[in-house]
Structure 1
């Protein structure tokens, strides 16, 4: 079902592409089977064991589509696996990987245009290279935006060095999806306490998402780029739960800008961001909806991941989320009609 008429659109779904094997040079990725017949997948010094790569929904589009059908998902927007962001490796290897990934992703979604769309991978350790790859991926390959991690070698999210990239998102009229990556995949190892009980992907991801929200707002990114659309995975981490404390910091802490001093300023900026609904808890989703409003939520699953419920998603899915996704992804008919006729979309 094409996205223009889809009733359930999943915007949080990762893909691993066979064409990218070895695309990052010594960093991989590569996969195989050990002496006990167990599959493994390697990125840099990180090795994932016991998780099937081949013949899985992550790599086989026919298996993906069948599982989508069982879950009632009409359309899915694919982005690189967090294992494959490569935001901390040398620039040439990162550029090589992203180009090959984006070429292969464009070819894949081009074979299934009524079921799949794609987001580009970007070499974020080099803002100029990231801008060039976004322009190529959208302008030449037809991808719908980009997906990146939240932390990179070099500059933070709010650095002026990224302004040229954010300007390109606005000029190309496409959104940015932010999703964390496990610490130590190809960069710093992170807090050792997060290595207990897989907390790096449970609590660590939520921390990265919350930090990204605060950085975009306190760092002035949304003020400098008022037409930039960013959506953040897993409901923005703990952003809704800590919104009051963050707002108070904006009014009281000495580093905060004058624009953050007025009552409601933080909440206004928070409601400019978009969030997927993959929270695994209706109570958390209710709070997020109350804090940011229902118009800024889009449906997500982390499709085929460890935290996707067996029935495909957690709880009932409001029909309005599909319309929200179309607006975010620039596939809304009313919006496109206005743009075509010279109106303000």
Structure 2
């Protein structure tokens, strides 16, 4: 089986690499066990307890392949761990960490080149370094995509990001955008989101929706028509706030002129790609009604807490594997 022949392609599968531990300066990361055996993943002052990385699909590629076989997944795109985007740490530490991760994931792919591909981590807080690492990962290591979080010291619509977007488009690979929990290495975010894991349950949705709106209103999609951007989890709450955002294009003076043209709003959002790991067929149907199905791709957060109970693409009127092949140039 290969990407070309795969019937089920999973583009949402994070990996954790032993080789990266200790390469991000004071932020680690590192993995150890408490006295009672509970595993602890440390990133700076943040502690994730109870997630077994070693011996799991996250870290053991042979365990991953066996689990993919059981789940009926033919091919996966491995992506960076959302806990360790490290977009706010010192740029040199971030660059070293990203290089190590990209090298390590390339090694995993080399062991199963017919089943796996990789998305590159980049130190986006220093855009020249991010461009350099994206080029190295794609041209030298063979990575099929570039990956960033939703939050960084500058905005997704900052003019300085245009050089990065241009570089990714020139590499002819997609850019994946996925949130991470606030406060690990950057601003803390709302205290209300620190309870009940709301930073993941609700905060991710908020970050994704904000990212889509920023790309739209900030003119990024308009300035970079050749760049393919894929947003996780169906673009957050985009389908639900669609009408409110569209209404703004008619009522707010700051809206770019190109968005005020009839049909431009829907056309721009229809150019994004959407990972449909959403847990709700009705929400998926609404998203499909809004943006169509031609740019929907299947994702699972494989081995994560929110991975689906049944590993099969939900029914949508689209060949999801073919969509993924177009996105990944496969």
Distance 1:113 1:83 in 2: 26
- 1:227 matched to which residue of 2? 226
Return the alpha-carbon distance in structure 1 between the equivalents of residues 220 and 72 of structure 2. 36
Is contact 1:243-1:267 (8 Å) kept?
A: no
C-alpha distance after superposition, 1:17-71 (max 9, x if no partner) = 0110111011111001101111110011111011111111100111111111111
How far the C-alpha of 1:128 sits from its partner, in A, is 1.0
Displacement after TM superposition at 1:313 (Å): 4.7
**Structure 1 Cα separation of the partners of residues 262 and 319 of structure 2:** 30
Task: Name the structure 2 match of 1:341.
Answer: none
Q: Deviations over 1:182-211 (max 9, x none)?
A: 011111110011112111001100000001
Q: Which moved more, 1:295-304 or 1:308-317?
A: 308-317
- 1:203-227 alpha-carbon deviations (Å, 9 max, x no partner): 1000000011011111011111110
Residues 144-190 of structure 1 deviation map (CA, whole Å, 9 limit, x = unaligned): 1211101102x100111011111111111010000000011111110
Contact 1:9 1:73 in 2 (8 A): yes
Shift of 1:310: 2.5
Find the residue that maps to 2:207 and give its secondary structure. helix
CA displacement at 1:264 relative to structure 2: 2.3
* 1:40 paired residue number: 40
Contact 2:294 2:318 in 1 (8 A): no
Cα pair 1:251 1:263 within 8 Å, conserved: no
Cα separation, 1, equivalents of 2:314 and 2:103:
36
- On the 8 A contact 1:183/1:189 being kept in 2, the answer is yes
1:182 and 1:149, CA in 2 relative to 1: closer, same or farther beyond 3 A? same
TM-score by length of 2: 0.98
Secondary structure, in 3 states, of the residue corresponding to 2:282? helix
CA distance in 1, matches of 2:137, 2:145: 8
Aligned to 2:125: 125
Match of 2:271 in 1: 272
Could you tell me which residue of structure 2 aligns to residue 202 of structure 1?
201
2:100 is paired with a residue of what secondary structure? helix
In structure 2, what is the Cα distance between the partners aligned to 1:133 and 1:142? 12
Deviation at 1:248, TM superposition (A): 1.1
Q: How many residues matched?
A: 330
**Residue 328 of structure 1: aligned partner:** 327
SS at 1:102's partner residue?
helix
Q: Is the 8 A contact 1:281 1:314 kept in 2?
A: no
Cα separation, 1, equivalents of 2:197 and 2:311: 22
Structure 1 residue ranges, 4+ long, deviating more than 6 angstroms after superposition? none
Tell me the equivalent position of 1:24: 24
Written as runs of structure 1 = structure 2, the 5 A alignment for 1:56-67 is 56-67=56-67
1:300 corresponds in structure 2 to 299
**Corresponding residue of 1:174:** 173
Q: Which residue does the alignment assign to 1:104?
A: 104
SS of 1:183's partner is coil
Mapped partners of 2:317, 2:68: distance in 1: 18
Q: TM-score, normalised by structure 1?
A: 0.94
**CA RMSD across the alignment:** 1.2
SS of structure 2 residue aligned to 1:120:
strand
- Partner deviation per Cα, 1:265-297 (whole Å, 9 max, x = no partner): 211100000001100011111111111101010
